[in-house]
Amino acid sequence: MRILNIPFLFAFVCILFIGCNDWKEIESLDNTDLNTSVKTEEYYAALREWKSTPGLPQIFVWFDNWNGVSPTGENSLRGLPDSVTIASNWGGHPKFDLNPERKADMEYVQKVKGTKVVVTLFSANVGDDMPEDPIYNVGNSSDEAVVRPAIRKYAEAIYDAVVASGYDGFDWDYEPYGSGNPKAYLWLNKVQRRIFVEELGYWFGTGSQRTDRDGRKPANPGLLFLIDGEIGTGGHMDKNWESQYVDYFVLQAYGGMTDGRMTGVLTDMEEHIKAGRITAEEVIRRTIATENFESFANSGGGFLNMSTYIYKKTFNEKEIDQQIGGCGLYRSGFDYMPKGQGDYDGSPEYYFLRKGITNLYRIFYERLNPTPSGEEEGQPKGYISGNF
């Protein structure tokens, strides 16, 4: 959808506002079959097209407790608000050996709602979560001749598993110091982690279609590359990573988003910015802040602050005024049922998530189409209600 096609956007949003919650309780008061949708194909076609809007901020969730059987939001991807753009399979259930129910649930939201589904792995050591192979036994070696072949095979194995399972991408959970694990060599060893990011970039993210593949097979286009965890803080990304190919930097900004945290991400990416490989504004557009609802579901923590966050500071002598690239939740299922806040837009499910959705997209469209001087402020065209 062309981002300036405002009449179409406005019409679409009206549809969204009217038809917002088709996945509620397992038993329906009016005997509606909640395993089927009451929305039209026109609605879903517009939803899928809207999610392809250039520059659209993202709503991201780490999803656990996933069984795919019931359509409730705490157990099924189908139960998430329609406007969630990226959901990650996180938790104790299988990551790649998906049962038929989970696979069908994932395929539904991908094909019908246009939601991208990725998988999160810690990948703290070469070979984690993949079938055993002697080549992976590199320990804490920093000898590139030793670790390059092992990491190259490991990155391709992750890619193959992602494609075979039907995911839309990979999220590396990078926590070198927060984990307190002295043997997490792929996190702590600077040579290994640099090579890992480079090798992943041949399969995922904006650089996956590079032609200098050096014998690597072709990669499926469009697979997302996310890094979450200690970005802009803690262990930081090393400045010599090929991080310009990462689609989204997902901050575990638990407790609230700050200018200092965003400046930290820009500092991590400083060499790429100086070299002209990426702009500071684009770095911010690729940054998603998330809140921990395992701890803050009752109060919302800093999530609503994240959903309204705009970076307005000077970085490297340049004035920046840029909305963040998105917001999201760790363990989104904790926000599914009401916890005393009451309804938001007439429905209790996902109170904070839907309120944050409204904030994020209201600001996006207000900045895209500012009210001309002299006109009254009002609901902007393209306004998105969190109630879908």
Interval 225-255: pLDDT, tens:
999 999 999 999 999 999 999 999 999 999 9
Contacts of 19 (CB under 8 A, 6+ apart): 38, 39, 43, 388
Contacts of 373 (CB under 8 A, 6+ apart): none
In single-letter form, the type of residue at position 192 comes to Q
Helices 144-165 and 190-200: angle between axes, nearest 10 degrees? 40
Dihedral (C-alpha) 171, 174, 175, 179: value to the nearest 10 degrees? Answer: 70
DSSP 8-state code for residue 244: G
Note the pLDDT tens digit of each residue in 273-290: 999 999 999 999 999 999
Contacts of 348 (CB under 8 A, 6+ apart): 337, 338, 342
For residue 156, give the nearest of 215, 102, 113 by alpha carbon.
215
Residue 373 CB burial class (10 angstroms; 0-12, 13-18, ≥19)? exposed
Q: What is the pLDDT of residue 93?
A: 84
pLDDT < 50 stretches in the chain: 1-35, 374-383, 387
DSSP-assigned letters across all residues of 350-364: THHHHHHHHHHHHHH
Tokens found for residue 384: 């998105």
Q: Decide: helix, strand or coil at residue 130.
A: coil
Q: What is the pLDDT of residue 373?
A: 55
Report all structural domains of the chain as residue ranges with CATH numbers, in order of start.
55-333 (3.20.20.80)
Quote the percentage of the chain above a pLDDT of 90.
77
For residue 337, give the nearest of 369, 298, 287, 375 by alpha carbon.
298
Q: How far is CA 60 from the centre of its chain?
A: 4
Q: What is the spatial distance between Cα 228 and Cα 231, in angstroms, rounded to a whole number?
A: 7
Note the pLDDT tens digit of each residue in 319-337: 999 999 999 999 999 999 8
Q: How far is CA 352 from the centre of its chain?
A: 17
Q: How far is CA 158 from the centre of its chain?
A: 18
